[in-house]
Structure 1
Amino acid sequence: MSDALLNALAEALADVVISIDTCEDDILDPDTAVKWLETTGFLLDRLPPADRRELARLFRRAAGRHPEGAWHDELLRIPDSFGLDDDQHELYCDAIEHVERRFLAAVREADPATPVTTCPGWTLADLVRHHGTTHRWMEHLVRTGAAERVRLREVPLHLPDDPADYPDWLARSTETALDTLRKVDPDTPMWSNGADQRVGYFPRRLLFEAIVHLADAELSLGREPSVTPGTAADGIEEFLENLPYFSWLAEPVARLADGSIGLSSRDTGASWTVTFGEAGFAWTKSAAAAPSVHVAGPSGDLLLLMYGRRGADDPRFKVTGDRAVLTTWLAATTF
């Protein structure tokens, strides 16, 4: 793509954003304006860090082509308003830290023998051990710059004997993992079990592991999980991006009959279409005209639905079309 085209696209986007943001309420409904800007922010947030920084540079260059004044100032504010200069790798690490604090607060005050309702046969002690093991495994991979798969049994866990000590062990595991992740360039190539073969894969994957297991703990303790819309929408895409690389999901999905699922987020305005069957698995960030079944709901609940932590009959969702297609999909993809 030429520099001229990139500059033109950036300035056109900037003009649209500023026009929406500064439009009078009697011309454009404020709720519609917010929804449009949130959707734009969501899409820009999914760009790789290098592309986000480049887009911020293009917006500033566009500002330099305008005389000083209100429009020039609005152009300069766009990179900050969309967080384009933020370090995505560090943001994922910060988000993990926040979610793990919530997870630890929940499990520390609970009986380790409490059954985990969303993981039949597990107790909270099992959940904490599993989650801490994931931290230890990912930290080991990144610290050693693994070029191939490392089995869990090859990673030193230093697991305490008493399940009552598991939360403190998880806290140490989290601290060590984040310390390692923050020291390594996210663009460093390495082996991963997902689509992104770089260090940057791991904080994103660990964040959604943490969010889902926090939901496991909260639901088991009679509390309602809450996931912010933008994070949840990112989590839906992370799940779909990596599904073909997770054999325990990809193999049952490959056996499904032809079908398609439309997902619509009520709070971000984002939509996704998932297709599967004889032609293989695929997904797009758009709404299909007539999917086999369509599910609309808040992003956080859609994420938990994808992971089998919400049921399709939950009143938070509006389901239209062939529910059997959704049921078979969920049965094949429950994490």
Structure 2
Amino acid sequence: MSTNLDFSDLLRLIDERSTAFRAAIAAAPRLDVPVPTCPDWTLADLAQHLGEGRHRWAATVAAGPADAPPDRSLWNTSAAPQDRAELLDWLAESAQRLIDALREAGPDRGCWTWWDTSQSPQTSGAVARHQVQEVALHTYDAQLTVGEAEPLPVEVALDGVDEFLSTCVATTSPWPHDPAVVEYRTIEGQSWTLHLSAAGARVDRLAAPADVSTESTAGELVLTFYGRNPVEALKLDGDRRILDRLVAWEPE
């Protein structure tokens, strides 16, 4: 699948969303408050997860083509500091390390990824694309924890629908139910069609008769994909059971 965002856009958005995440951490009354969208996590846990993850992916991109992710000893990171000022510096360093690794690799260099059977390539460019979504989603989590979360930026959300379907849903694992077609429509005017069959799950941008369709803003759809919004928040038409089966599906 193609994206309207070029590689420089992806690096810019990683930086922008990382900055917004740190602003939420800086504004929090304390760091031991629970994150409502991440059960059993505090804001400090969320910060540690985000920082460690950027170090891990920076090491993965720097390692180049591989059959497995790099050993933790190569992540070049330490535990998240407990002091807030030091934590903010650590988060900034982790984001910059990822951006530097991606910029040095460029968009087309191969590297290990967990989505080897999806429609997304195993490249640093695809990693950058997924990282935009991960940082944006956890920025939403942090903002919601300290007050009112801002809507996902439209350019992030529109690319996020395509990225999620291409990376997290598309697979060659057989769909274990009757063949089905799902259409995802956004108020911004873009739509995607997901084909489910014994050949797996494949997504395209071609219109086709759908067994079930959804309509919402792209941001609402991304938040639903990642479990932040209930499916009921979307406008649904057709067989809702297909969506329930899709949410419960665990491809081999």
TM-score (structure 1 length as normaliser)? 0.65
Is the alpha carbon distance of 1:264 and 1:244 closer, same or farther for their aligned partners in structure 2, counting shifts above 3 Å?
closer
Does residue 45 of the first structure (1) align with residue 11 of the second (2)?
Answer: no
Note the 1:251-290 alignment, pairs <5 A: 254-255=175-176, 258-267=179-188, 269-289=189-209
The residue type equivalent to 2:8 in the other structure is E
8 Å Cα contact 1:128-1:167 kept in structure 2: no
Does residue 157 of the first structure (1) align with residue 116 of the second (2)?
Answer: no
Aligned to 1:60: none
Cα deviation per residue 1:26-68 (whole Å; 9 max; x = unaligned)? xxxxxxxxxxxxxxxxx7826xxxxxxxxxxxxxxxxxxxxxx
Note the 1:233-312 alignment, pairs <5 A: 233-243=158-168, 254-255=175-176, 258-267=179-188, 269-289=189-209, 291-312=210-231
Aligned to 2:7: 89
Aligned residue pairs, count: 242
Identity %: 29
TM-score (structure 2 length as normaliser)? 0.84
Residue 106 of structure 1 and its aligned partner are, at CA, apart by 0.6
Which of 222, 242, 245 is matched with 1:325 structurally?
A: 242
Cα deviation per residue 1:108-157 (whole Å; 9 max; x = unaligned)? 22122121111211111111111111110111122232523225634332
The residue type equivalent to 1:261 in the other structure is V
More helix by share: 1
Note the 1:84-163 alignment, pairs <5 A: 88-110=6-28, 111-151=30-70, 153-154=72-73, 155-162=75-82
Cα deviation per residue 1:283-325 (whole Å; 9 max; x = unaligned)? 2213332x232110111111111111111222xx311222232
Larger Rg: 1
The residue type equivalent to 2:212 in the other structure is V
Is the alpha carbon distance of 1:258 and 1:163 closer, same or farther for their aligned partners in structure 2, counting shifts above 3 Å?
farther
Aligned to 1:181: 102
Residue 265 of structure 1 and its aligned partner are, at CA, apart by 0.8
- Tell me how far apart the structure 1 counterparts of residues 78 and 161 of structure 2 sit (CA, whole Å): 33
Note the 1:185-196 alignment, pairs <5 A: 185-194=106-115, 195-196=120-121
8 Å Cα contact 1:265-1:271 kept in structure 2: yes
